[in-house]
Amino acid sequence: MTTIKDVAARAGVSLGTASRVLSKSPHTSADSRAKVMQAAKQLGYVANGPAQSLRRARTNILGLLISDIRNPFFARLALSAEKEARKSGYMVVYGNANEDADTADEIVQVFSQQRVDGVLFSPQGIMTPHIQSFLKTGTPLVLLNRHLEGIEAPYFGTDNVQGMNQILQYLHERKHKRVAFVSGPTTISTGLERYRTFMEGRDSFGFDPDPRLVQIGNFLAEGGYRAAQDIIRSGLKPSAIIGANGETTVGILHALHDCLSTKEARRIEIVSFDDMEWFDFISPRISAVRNDATSIGREGAKGLIKLIQGKRVESKMIPTQFINRST
């Protein structure tokens, strides 16, 4: 972990000068401030914030960075993780990235400054300098539902391959041939795994290979809406459309409502990779892959607490369940 002493050595100033600059004391020269701040950036130094003066070994606080609080999946995951953490005497500080890498960076910086004991992290798919700096602190970290290349940490998340294969098998049994797919971003591990599995399964099940039937969304409703519009405007008339997650499926439904007549829209079967309670109460009902967000949050929190205690933790893939509402 980079220290003030390291920063002072790199900047060529005294330890006292480096400390005054980093604590934002006005009693430093412009030249010293420039040298120290440049050295801190190069070394990835992160100040310890309020905990720096307290010198406490533990804060009994965990950081939880989730991708999108509007997504019911992440809301359930967060609730479960917090409940489990509280059982062991930990409080949880939330950060909502809103599917934005810059926002995630800001949250990671706050976690570092507050010296949380560990972090539950659902990344945005991009390794940034701020994340790299955070990793250098050695803070215990667990990945939730998303991988990020460059981070070696225990992972607790959905079995995306199993879930997508469940959808493809279902649509094959329903004798669909022209199947469209609104994918999540392939820069994010869940989006990439679901996309790859769909493309492989599409060929093996003999679904229509027209590339216009596959559009990339952003795991948000507005992205699903735009992608579904593109599919509809292609004129290919799919018999089924898969939404890469619950929010994407919401966007697809809105697009069908706005772009097609009720009769035309009802001819297209919607299937979602993510289940929502209200899928059971609309007509036609929506079949879906159910992710066990509660288990992911609970097991992730357990794993992080074990890491903090210096114990070995193995990654765990959480199985999916397909909810068939066609009958």
In whole angstroms, how large is the CA radius of gyration of the chain? Answer: 23
Mean pLDDT over 24-53 rounds to 74
Is residue 56 one of the residues assigned to a domain? no
Nearest Cα residue to 227 out of 209, 213, 240, 211: 213
Could you give the CA distance from residue 181 to residue 207 in angstroms, rounded to a whole number? Answer: 11
Residue 118 lies in a domain: no
For residue 252, is it within any domain? yes
What CATH number did the domain enclosing 282 receive? Answer: 3.40.50.2300
Residue 21 vs residues 8, 286, 289: alpha-carbon distances, Å: 10, 58, 53
The answer to whether the beta carbons of residues 171 and 179 sit under 8 Å apart is yes
Phi/psi of residue 241, nearest 5 degrees? -130, 135
The answer to whether residue 313 sits within a structural domain is no
310 domain-assigned: no
Statement: residue 182 has pLDDT above 60: yes
Q: Report residue 96: phi and psi, to 5°.
A: -105, 110
> How far is the CA of 79 from the CAs of 47, 65, 97, 116, 282, in angstroms?
29, 13, 16, 18, 27
The CATH number for 38's domain is 1.10.260.40
- Pairing between β-strand 321-323 and β-strand 287-290 as defined by DSSP bridges: antiparallel
Q: In this prediction, what percent of the chain has a pLDDT beyond 70?
A: 95
For the chain, the 3-state helix, strand and coil shares in percent, each to the nearest 5, are: 50, 15, 35
Question: What is the DSSP code string of 106-141?
Answer: HHHHHHHHTT-SEEEE---S---HHHHHHHHTT--E
- Quote the CA–CA distance of 107 and 105 in Å, as a whole number: 5
| pLDDT for the residue 155 | 94
pLDDT in tens, 194-243: 999 999 999 999 999 999 999 999 999 999 999 999 999 999 999 999 99
At 47, is the pLDDT very low, low, confident or very high (cuts 50, 70, 90)?
low
Phi-psi region of 271 (alpha: psi -120 to 50; beta: other; left: phi over 0): beta
Which pLDDT value is given to residue 1?
A: 63
- Separation of alpha carbons 139 and 116, rounded Å: 8
CA dihedral 226, 227, 228, 229 (to 10 degrees): 50
**What single-letter DSSP state applies at residue 311?**
-
pLDDT at 123: 84
Question: Which residue, 301, 303, 326, 290, is CA-closest to 72?
Answer: 290
* SS3 assignment, position 318: strand
Residue type, position 150, single letter: G
Examine the pLDDT at 126 and tell me if it is beyond 80.
Answer: no
Residue 37: CB atoms within 10 Å: 15
Is residue 194 one of the residues assigned to a domain? yes
10 belongs to a structural domain: yes
Strand, helix or coil for residue 268:
coil
DSSP 323: E
How many CB atoms within 10 Å of residue 278? Answer: 11
**What does DSSP assign to residue 61?**
E
Range of the domain at 230: 160-290
List pLDDT tens digits, range 242-283.
999 999 999 999 999 999 999 999 999 999 999 998 999 999
Instruction: Write the DSSP assignment of 163-224 as a string of letters.
Output: HHHHHHHHHHHTT--SEEEEEPPTTSHHHHHHHHHHHHHHHHHT----GGGEEE--SSHHHH
Count of the separate structural domains present in the chain:
2
Please check whether residue 51 lies inside any domain of the structure: no
